[in-house]
């Protein structure tokens, strides 16, 4: 693994929320790494901490949340130690982010051209407005916005959801970010538009070498796009592996359950019941003792309710947090 070109490494990151009701360990000691030009996926259900992980990387977690432990090493520097001013230079410049709701992440009173140009004008001091405009139009062309010169002066409400998400991607990539964090970028879009955006993200990675962290609940999206995936549950990473390995040989009962819950296309057999994981996601304020998936797990053993399992190497670069494999 020496010749890997690592861009980001997160070590034992903990982001806790200090609420009136107690401490919520939203991100509870996760470690991951992203190589240059790699697309990794973080999959999990609502409340598993995948979005808080991404916000932590940019240090955008707001009160009462706090990064309490861990390191976020980006290009050799620990972002956890950076001041607000230093983070301003990183955000939107070397790391940028796109959000789920393209409707609410754009400012309705400015034209999209102006909003995207702002990103360059802030980060690159020596650039003129005319040059910025030229760059924006180039970027609009790259992300497939039709009639980019005309659209430069359009307002967000004049665009469809798919086009707005393209504008967000243009904004995120205009400064040639090394890392793009995409938080459920296609969840609010229709399937035919989702396919367009996923295709665009793959092309951008191939053409510009940008690394992407794809945050999603959709295993289909992960299977289509990612090189590597992490499965998160209630603040912890349960399993991670290279994408083909993960889908071929899922090990954690949670991952297996998730994959089985998706209705299969080639159901030639008479309609059978869908597999479902019993129960629901635990309350982070009152996590079960031992393994946090234990109350929903069909394979739970005695030890599972006593001690939390460590993550172990299962070979083939596949790591899993489950007593079954210890």
Partner 1 sequence: MNNVLVKAVKVKKYFSVDGGVINKKSAKVHAVDDVSFDIYERETLALVGESGCGKSTLGRALIRLIDITEGEVFFDNQNIFDLKENEMRKLRRQIQIIFQDPYASLNPRMTVKDIIMEPILTHKIFKGKDAEDRVKELLELVGLRPSFMSRYPHMFSGGQRQRIGIARAIALNPKFIVCDEPVSALDVSIQSQIVNLLEDLQEKNDLTYLFISHDLNVVNHISDRVCVMFLGKIMEMGPTKDVYKNPIHPYTKFLIEAAPIPDPNTRFREKLILQGDIPSPINLPLGCRFHTRCPYAKDKCKREEPEINGNSDHTYACHFPLQ
Residues that bind partner 1 (CB under 8 A): 45-46, 160-163, 190-196, 198-199, 217-225, 243-244, 247, 257-259, 261-265, 267, 271, 273-277, 280-281
Shortest spacing between CB 85 and partner 1, in angstroms: 39
Q: Is 232 in a helix, a strand, or coil?
A: strand
* Nearest distance in Å: CB 263, partner 1: 3
CB of 173 to partner 1, least distance (A): 20
Residue placing its CB nearer to partner 1 in the complex, 275 or 325: 275
- Residue placing its CB nearer to partner 1 in the complex, 107 or 160: 160
Residue closer to partner 1, measured from CB, 262 or 326 = 262
Q: Say if residues 192 and 219 touch (Cβ distance below 8 Å).
A: no
| Nearest in space to 198 (alpha carbons), one of 156, 177, 174, 169 | 169
Beta bridge partners of 24: 17
Both structure tokens of 125? 């001091």
The nearest distance, CB 122 to partner 1, in angstroms, is: 30
Q: With the CA atoms of 74, 226, 209 and 82 taken in that order, what torsion angle do they form, in degrees rounded to the nearest 10? A: -20
Angle at 43 between CA 199 and CA 302, to 5 degrees: 155
CB of 144: closest distance to partner 1 in angstroms? Answer: 9
Chain-centre distance for alpha carbon 35: 15
d(CA 241, CA 23): 30
Q: Crossing angle for the helix pair 161-173 and 191-208, nearest 10 degrees?
A: 20
β 211-216/179-183 pair status: parallel
Q: Which is nearer to partner 1, 41 or 70 (CB)?
A: 41
Nearer to partner 1, 76 or 263 (CB): 263
Which of 91, 296 has the CB closer to partner 1? Answer: 296
> Nearer to partner 1 by C-beta: 27 or 241?
241
CA–CA distance, 296 with 134 (Å, rounded to integer):
54
Minimum CB distance to partner 1 smaller for 78 or for 283 = 283
| Residue 279 to residue 291: CA distance in whole angstroms | 15
Please, what is the minimum distance in Å from the beta carbon of residue 223 to partner 1?
A: 5
Q: How far is the CB of 300 from partner 1 (least distance, A)?
A: 16
Query: Among 177, 55, 316, which Cα is nearest to 168's?
Result: 177
CB of 241 to partner 1, least distance (A): 11
Q: How many CB atoms lie within 10 A of CB 301?
A: 13
| CB-CB contact of 185 with 152 (8 Å) | no
């Amino acid at each position: 693994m020496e010749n890997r070109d690592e861009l980001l490494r997160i070590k034992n990151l903990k982001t806790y929320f200090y609420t009136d009701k107690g401490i919520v360990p939203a991100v509870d000691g996760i470690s991951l790494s992203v190589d240059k030009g790699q697309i990794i996926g973080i999959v999990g259900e609502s409340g598993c901490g995948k979005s808080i992980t991404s916000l932590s990387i940019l240090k955008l977690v707001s009160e009462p949340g706090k990064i309490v432990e861990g390191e976020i090493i980006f290009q050799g520097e620990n972002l956890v130690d950076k001041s607000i001013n230093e983070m301003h230079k990183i955000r939107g410049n070397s790391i940028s982010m796109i959000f789920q709701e393209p409707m609410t992440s754009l400012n309705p009173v400015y034209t999209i051209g102006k909003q995207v140009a702002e990103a360059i004008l802030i980060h690159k001091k020596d650039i003129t407005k005319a040059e910025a405009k030229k760059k924006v139009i180039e970027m609009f062309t790259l992300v497939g916005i039709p009639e980019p010169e005309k659209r430069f002066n359009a307002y967000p409400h004049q665009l469809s959801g798919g086009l707005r998400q393209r504008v967000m991607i243009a904004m995120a990539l205009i400064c040639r970010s090394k890392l793009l964090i995409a938080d459920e970028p296609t969840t609010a879009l229709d399937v035919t538009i989702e396919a367009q955006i996923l295709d665009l993200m793959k092309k951008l990675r191939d053409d510009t070498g940008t690394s992407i962290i794809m945050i999603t609940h959709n295993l289909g999206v992960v299977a289509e796009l990612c090189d590597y995936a992490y499965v998160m549950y209630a603040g912890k990473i349960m399993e991670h592996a290279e994408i083909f390995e993960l889908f071929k040989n899922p090990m954690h009962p949670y991952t297996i359950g998730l994959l089985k819950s998706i209705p299969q296309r080639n159901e030639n057999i008479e309609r059978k019941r869908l597999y479902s994981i019993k129960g629901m996601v635990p309350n982070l304020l009152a996590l079960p003792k031992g393994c946090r998936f234990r109350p929903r797990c069909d394979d739970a053993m005695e030890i599972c309710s006593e001690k939390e399992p460590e993550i172990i190497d299962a070979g083939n670069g596949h790591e899993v947090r489950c007593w079954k494999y210890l």
